[in-house]
Amino acid sequence: MSLQAQFINFNAKIRLDYNVNSELKDKRDILVDILRNSGKLPGFTVLNQGSYSMHTGVESIDKEYDIDVGLRFDVNKDDYEPMGLKNSICDILENHTVYGSTIKKPCVTVTYKKDGEPAYHVDLVVYTYEDKSDHNSQMYLARGKASTPDEICWEESDPKGLVDYINDAVNAGDDRDQYRRVIRYIKRWKNLKFDSNGHAEPASIGITLIAADYFELCFSDDGYDDLSALISLVKKIQSLFTYVGVSDNGRLLYRIKYPMPCELMFKDDTDTFEKMTDSQMTDFKDKTDKFVRDLEAVQNEADEVEQCKKLHKIFGDDFEVPEAKNVSKTQMNYIPSSSASGVL
């Protein structure tokens, strides 16, 4: 079995298929039906968003699964206060689960339990139109919660444009499959290497947007080469860090500022990594630097079993180490063979 085949097996283990995971899909559909039949809300259409709609979800390691569901209400933004529809949704779903419903800054969250513990949640995101008669007009996200009144607002957003931008970055078919696999590999790495509490973990949307802009298809003599494609993208992330200053204890600090695409209709000067502190961002850089070194060590290793052992250390138990009898013989004077297309 080749190293590429080991990557394909790894992808199959970590890939979160929402259509197969019926619990997640069913909970989403139940909530939507409850809201539609409540008689307390204006009409809306559903837009699946996040990793669900981008097909880049990964199986959870130790935290809840989630689905992001956009509710595009057929109303004008000026006819509602930002908290009006969110409060109504929260009230309707208040007693739906033992955890109730919670208003967060970007959404209303409904959490479900399994085996006595929180297991998954659905994030319901409220959108309205600048002009409900023109569904191509500016959309607005209801942002804020009661405890932070100064942050309550209607924020310019383009949820469908964002989904299309990411999905259309690479042509459909085998090429797009490699693109999505590489994103999943990076997401699994960051889930393992960063604390999920607070904002220490880099936002997945930031990573995914960088992939949409800079991913390169890579091939070997035998076909797709996921290792080379992964190294190429991680090195691009590495190159985006810029020096921003020195901390009080003398540490050099770095950041990536990565806004939403300028051609989309989002609030000006957004930054997908804005919630991370300079120290957290610098930790991100340090871990990315090590990620590059570790991946290059894999690429420079001649023995496939040893390559897989190194990848097992990077990605955890889901990256299996094969028995020596099941792999091809070590290639002497090994030189990695790969090529890349242009940037997509």
The reported pLDDT for the residue numbered 236 is 98
pLDDT at residue number 121: 86
Q: Is domain 22-157 annotated with CATH 3.30.460.90?
A: yes
Residue-level pLDDT at 337: 44
Write down the mean pLDDT value for the chain: 91
Rg (alpha carbons) of the chain, rounded to whole number: 22
Q: How far apart are CA 232 and CA 237, in angstroms?
A: 9
Q: Is the pLDDT of residue 97 over 60?
A: yes
DSSP element (H, E) containing 76: strand 65-76
Helix locations, the chain, DSSP H = 3-14, 22-36, 51-54, 82-92, 159-167, 174-193, 204-214, 226-239, 278-300, 304-315
Average pLDDT, stretch 163-184? 97
Can you tell me the mean pLDDT for 64-92?
94
Closest CA to 122 of 114, 113, 110: 110
User: How high is the pLDDT of residue 332?
Assistant: 38
Q: pLDDT tens for residues 280-305?
A: 999 999 999 999 999 999 999 999 99
Measured distance CA(4)–CA(234) in Å, rounded: 18
| pLDDT at site 327 | 67
Over residues 186-197, the mean pLDDT reads: 94
pLDDT confidence of residue 330: 45
CB-based burial, 155-192: b 16+ in 10 Å, e otherwise = bbbbbbbbbebbbebbeeeeebebbbbbbbbbbbbbbe
Amino acid at 126: V
pLDDT tens profile 12-58: 999 987 665 677 788 889 999 999 999 999 999 999 998 888 999 99
Contacts of 228 (CB under 8 A, 6+ apart): 218, 220, 299, 336, 338, 340
Q: What is the pLDDT of residue 341?
A: 46
Q: Is the pLDDT of residue 311 over 90?
A: yes
Q: Where are the domains of the chain?
A: 22-157, 164-340
DSSP class per residue in 22-69: HHHHHHHHHHHHHHHTSSSS--EEEEEETHHHHT--B--SSS-EEEEE
Rounded distance between C-alpha atoms, residue 307 and residue 214, angstroms: 26
Percent of the chain whose pLDDT exceeds 70: 92
Among 107, 99, 87, 91, which residue's Cα sits nearest to residue 38?
A: 91
Phi then psi dihedrals of residue 122, to 5 deg: -110, 125
Q: What is the pLDDT of residues 100-152, one digit of tens each?
A: 899 999 999 998 887 777 678 899 999 999 999 999 999 999 999 999 999 99
| CA separation for the pair 307, 7 (Å, rounded) | 11
Q: Which residues make Cβ contacts (< 8 Å) with residue 241, sequence separation at least 6?
A: 254, 255, 256, 281, 285, 288
- Quick: pLDDT tens for 249-286: 999 999 999 999 999 999 988 899 999 999 999 999 99
Which of 229, 193, 191 lies closest to 211 in space, CA to CA?
Answer: 229
Spatial neighbors of 56 by CB under 8 A, at least 6 apart, are: 180, 183, 184, 187, 204, 208
Find out whether 319 and 308 touch, Cβ atoms under 8 Å.
yes
The band of 343, judged by pLDDT with boundaries at 50, 70 and 90, is very low
Distances (CA, A) of 205 to 91, 241, 268, 305, 332: 29, 17, 17, 33, 41
pLDDT at res. 335: 46
Quick one: tokens of 50? 């996040």
For residue 340, pLDDT over 60 is answered with no
pTM equals 0.91
> Does domain 164-340 correspond to CATH entry 1.10.1410?
yes
pLDDT recorded at residue 131? 98
